[in-house]
Structure 1
């Protein structure tokens, strides 16, 4: 996309399907000649003008609003023209085709009115906003996150990132790093001054405060990533332990079929719910057992694949069947195959049928007793899932973040930790300290786009919808 950023572009900017309003958007270096050719007149900048959108014969395709945003006061930083028509797919396609047709008409000196006008690629309008310094990279990504937000909390967090909350935190860190780098590199340039740098400039104190601030930013970024991506929760266990009933109870709807017949669930059933704004992608799987039916065997194999990929596994146990030799043997076999680690939560279901029955928890085991039928214990399970995900409320509000942001923050933290080690050396290895600070500074710059490879830009913007 970068190689063709000089081309004018056009696209339908609203979602596919029928709607009250649909938008065709153009962006380019100079659209004034195109505007005159399309409408036979100029348009007042940034004023909505109601007029017909004519076809090649001068007949109206539709009546609507045209808004012309001359550069640089536009979304992309280039000239932008928006045609707001009725939101029928045929109408919008006719307008799009008419724009491409007008662009090829001869204008001054016989040249096309708008040479090179082409259909926009996914995310190209927002990419141009980034390249023209209307948005930094974190803000540009927040545009996509706001569109894709699955909860109200995620939408508000994406809006904060789009407004620059996350970028301001990162830039503040970078400014502090610049000041520290200046002190270190000045000392490297003038060693004859014999200044005790670490003592007089309080370099270690500054570095400690910088690391503390970075840790706080990383924590809030992790919360933002949870709001964006949520956590993958798999319900696992033997047949008829209540997995489908628990999915229905968590979702508040009858999503999965519940019967007393073992093997009712033969393939995964997925549903996204939210707890305190955090999306939970809950997957109900086939009951784990030795199956003779080929279809059920395939479902069980898929269940194990989902378990391996999950962020959290709810291992359901039936309190009414504990102690039965065959059932207990099945429990041991599942426990043997489950992945080791803290992502396993033991859920003892049907506590309403066995009042007071609470198995003794093993050391380090996470467990909760509940009734999927009555709802008893569901709040405790929700709280445990949030704890497992690492979620905690932020009084100042959370900004949206992505995995690449967290990776950059982690690299910056690692470089600052090494810088601290060099600062603590008796011989004051200032050249190594300066290098680690430089690397940490660059890692933070990747978040806002100060240091970003072109192939990464292509990957980021290709995930946007066309027209945005």
Structure 2
């Protein structure tokens, strides 16, 4: 994304038809644009003015509300003009074209994705974590995710990170002051309780990481892949978890030829449930379409966060089931689902065994489904602790982990002697840099381009 300070404009509402549509412009001074659009009509800052939106020839394009937000008291920190009219795609495109035409003399151009929010960040209206929370709030797929994104947008996550940075900074000052005046010959580590301060910082960081990891789960969800032989009940289980008939269920083996995906919620956690084609023995004859479906099944297994391996409780395990297990990727949690207990006579239950957790249920009769939901939450590490959660991104978690490693190394140096103070100070500096990158105090232009490039254009 170019760092260009010229005025920008874009449609700020979602594509498609709606009751209201908004065209937004932002720049250092938009008085010339306002005059080109409305002539001698004055717009009082932060007041809504009902006014016709006309073309260059005077023909009315629409009638609506114009609001001028005088910088720096605006979303971007610059002058912002919002034209709120009817939400038809054609009328909004006509209105945007008129705004761009009227602003030609100012160098007004179409905004790039995320450019309004990037200007808010560059003008200190938002820090980087808050700016990311704008996109997360728009994309939130659950009520819990939306609440966490709102918290981050309000600055709760940023305040927590700033407090950590301040504690690390204060400890750095003590260490570096001691390095600057070695002739004092004071036992720095003991008199300033440096080890105690460091322990407190590490404990606070651990708490933040736990809250952020839980929040990241709200944002991303889990990819849960259903795997098994044909006709073991994978589609029935998908329908039972989803609470609706999203997959076709028949007694004919091989009904599912391609993946069927459905996103559901369990206690606010989004789960991306993926039903796949049944896996047959290699020596069984399958047609071309089913073979492609089986290949895609293994492709989904490679990307899974959790594998649900379905088996027929009425028939018991087979060599084909063992062959399926042998091809599972290592390190991915596997839950053995013994389905059709309504036919086998088993009771619903959970067995925690060395190879995997075994759950006995009936997808068709909806027996034992709650046991599976609870196990998925356990695997996800979801804990309703009552703590505030931050809708963290992967880069936030990486930065927090890296900061924790530097603090651990600082602790090792502190445990040796005062002779290691320079190494102690350096690890604190590196930890501070990692924490500060979360809010954007130390962020490269390349990183900013990636982050804001994923926004919609109107933001």
Q: With the length of structure 1 as denominator, give the TM-score of the two structures.
A: 0.95
**Where does residue 31 of structure 1 map in the other structure?**
30
Alignment equivalent of 1:145, drawn from 130, 136, 152: 136
Give the SS at the match of 1:74: coil
Gaps of 5+ in 2: none
Contact 2:399 2:435 (C-alpha < 8 Å) held by counterparts: yes
Alignment equivalent of 1:339, drawn from 313, 317, 329: 329
Q: Give the Cα separation in 1 of the matches to 2:23 and 2:68.
A: 12
The offset of 1:85, in angstroms, is: 0.4
RMSD: 1.3
* CA displacement 1:247-292 (0-9 Å, x = unmatched): 0000011011111111111110000001111110000001111343
- Kindly report which structure 2 residues correspond to 1:3-402, keeping only aligned pairs within 5 A, or say none: 3-4=3-4, 6-40=5-39, 41-104=41-104, 112=105, 115-290=106-281, 291-322=285-316, 328-341=318-331, 343-356=333-346, 362-402=353-393
Contact 2:211 2:387 (C-alpha < 8 Å) held by counterparts: no
* CA displacement 1:168-210 (0-9 Å, x = unmatched): 1100100000110000001100111111011010000000010
* CA displacement 1:371-421 (0-9 Å, x = unmatched): 111222111111111111111113133121100000000000000000000
**Where does residue 108 of structure 1 map in the other structure?**
none
Contact 2:62 2:85 (C-alpha < 8 Å) held by counterparts: yes
Q: Give the Cα separation in 2 of the matches to 1:103 and 1:148.
A: 32
Q: Give the Cα separation in 2 of the matches to 1:265 and 1:59.
A: 57
Give the SS at the match of 1:25: strand
1:33–1:360 distance in 2 versus 1, CA, 3 Å: closer
1:45–1:288 distance in 2 versus 1, CA, 3 Å: same
* CA displacement 1:82-114 (0-9 Å, x = unmatched): 00000111111111111111123xxxxxxx3xx
Q: With the length of structure 2 as denominator, give the TM-score of the two structures.
A: 0.97
Q: Give the Cα separation in 2 of the matches to 1:396 and 1:390.
A: 14
The offset of 1:354, in angstroms, is: 2.0
Q: Give the Cα separation in 2 of the matches to 1:452 and 1:179.
A: 22
Q: Give the Cα separation in 1 of the matches to 2:103 and 2:392.
A: 40
Deviates more, 1:441-450 or 1:94-103: 94-103
* Superposed structure 1 runs of 4+ greater than 6 Å apart: none
1:123–1:443 distance in 2 versus 1, CA, 3 Å: same
Count how many residue pairs are aligned between Structure 1 and Structure 2.
454
Contact 1:32 1:42 (C-alpha < 8 Å) held by counterparts: no
1:69–1:456 distance in 2 versus 1, CA, 3 Å: same
1:359–1:331 distance in 2 versus 1, CA, 3 Å: farther
**Where does residue 109 of structure 1 map in the other structure?**
none
Give the SS at the match of 2:298: helix
Alignment equivalent of 1:432, drawn from 417, 423, 428: 423
